[in-house]
């Protein structure tokens, strides 16, 4: 375990996420071709791009669910590709929300939220339950504490998944296409929870196809294609006045 230098709130000296020259190959297939990328503390960055562009892989490299082939990934100044880094400790500070929710189907909603608190954060049961109930209330699902995931709609499951990640009191949240597996009428509730998080100043990296969300909530939009960052900037600039042909082509298809 190495000592962790926590940046004081408000300082932007240490970026929440800083990625340099990141490459990722799956066998012969080069998915990321030298990505430079950062997310400042308190910033909401939306990553967009066609499927297969490498945006989900980039996100999954941040908490090392994917092992980078080369390059560095720094989270709050800690090199997570360093073998000496306590990865589990860093991961408790990075909340992650998956496209397929990945709730634990054999556990009640409340247990889904308390399990990692007790096992990874070593919180007592009473404290874990209190934190869990607070976060369930936050996503508007207090009454579902004793339900099982299979009894919830997709939108409710995803909100539980967000509450589960928040229960670890993370410094930042990663969203991997959080609304792509949802029926259209359920997307709104999930986006509303995410907007509230953004308003509270949560650092967020969001891989998404929701251009409306990116425009409204994002501080910055990053467009990826073919394993590289093609362009990035303020949402209105990238989405409203794209500079690159590939960006224009993509936006013409999705908007």
Partner 1 sequence: MKRSTRRRLTQGVLYAIFAAVILFVLLSADWGRIQPYFFNVDVARAAFPEILTIAAKNTIVYTAIAFVGGMLFGLLLALMKLSPVLPYRWLATGYIELFRGLPALLVIFGFAFAVPIAFQWQAPGGSVGAGLIGLIVVSAAYIAETIRAGIEAVPKGQVEAARSLGMGSTWTLVTVVLPQAFRIITPPLTNELVILIKDTSLLFIAGMAIGDRELTTFARDSLTNSANATPLVVAALLYLVITLPLTQLVAKLERHNKRGR
Q: Which residues bind partner 1 (CB under 8 A)?
A: 63, 65, 88-92, 94, 96, 98, 100, 102-107, 115-116, 119-121, 148, 150-151, 161, 164-165, 168
Nearer to partner 1, 182 or 221 (CB): 182
Nearer to partner 1, 169 or 219 (CB): 169
CA distance 187 to 204: 18
Q: How far is the CB of 1 from partner 1 (least distance, A)?
A: 13
Q: How far is the CB of 110 from partner 1 (least distance, A)?
A: 13
Q: How far is the CB of 86 from partner 1 (least distance, A)?
A: 10
Nearer to partner 1, 88 or 192 (CB): 88
Residue pair 181/101 in contact (Cβ under 8 Å)? The answer is: yes
Residue pair 24/31 in contact (Cβ under 8 Å)? The answer is: yes
Nearer to partner 1, 120 or 137 (CB): 120
Cβ within 8 Å of residue 2, ≥6 positions away: 78, 82, 84, 85, 86
Token pair of 85, please? 């880094």
Q: What string of DSSP letters covers 170-209?
A: -SEEEEESTTTTS-HHHHHHHHHHHHHHHHTT-EEEEE-S
CA distance 28 to 162: 35
Nearer to partner 1, 52 or 105 (CB): 105
Strands (DSSP E) contained in the chain are: 17-26, 29-39, 44-48, 70-75, 78-79, 94-97, 172-176, 203-207, 220-225, 228-233
Nearer to partner 1, 23 or 148 (CB): 148
Q: How far is the CB of 103 from partner 1 (least distance, A)?
A: 8
Residue pair 122/99 in contact (Cβ under 8 Å)? The answer is: no
Q: How far is the CB of 98 from partner 1 (least distance, A)?
A: 6
Q: How far is the CB of 104 from partner 1 (least distance, A)?
A: 6
Nearer to partner 1, 53 or 56 (CB): 56
Q: How far is the CB of 168 from partner 1 (least distance, A)?
A: 6
């Amino acid at each position: 375990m190495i000592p962790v230098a926590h940046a004081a709130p408000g300082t932007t000296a240490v970026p929440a996420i800083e990625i340099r020259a990141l490459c990722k190959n799956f066998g012969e297939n080069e998915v990321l071709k030298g990505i430079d990328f950062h997310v400042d503390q308190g910033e909401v960055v939306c990553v967009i791009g066609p499927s297969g562009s490498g945006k989900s892989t980039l996100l999954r490299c941040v908490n090392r669910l994917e092992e980078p082939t080369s390059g560095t990934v720094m989270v709050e100044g800690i090199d997570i590709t360093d073998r000496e880094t306590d990865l589990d400790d860093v991961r408790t500070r990075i909340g992650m929300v998956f496209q397929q929710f990945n709730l634990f189907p054999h556990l009640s909603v409340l247990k889904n939220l308390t399990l990692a608190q007790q096992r990874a954060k070593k919180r007592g049961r009473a404290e874990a339950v209190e934190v869990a109930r607070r976060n369930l209330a936050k996503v508007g699902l207090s009454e579902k504490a004793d339900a099982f995931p299979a009894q919830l709609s997709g939108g409710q499951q995803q909100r539980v998944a967000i509450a589960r990640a928040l229960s670890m009191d993370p410094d930042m949240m990663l969203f991997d296409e959080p609304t792509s597996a949802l029926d259209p009428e359920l997307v709104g509730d999930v986006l509303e929870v995410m907007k509230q998080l953004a308003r509270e100043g949560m650092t967020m990296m969001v891989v998404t196809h929701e251009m409306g969300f990116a425009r409204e909530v994002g501080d910055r939009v990053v467009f990826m294609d073919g394993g590289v960052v093609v362009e990035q900037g303020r949402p209105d600039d990238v989405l409203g006045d794209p500079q690159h042909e590939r960006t224009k082509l993509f936006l013409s298809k999705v908007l």
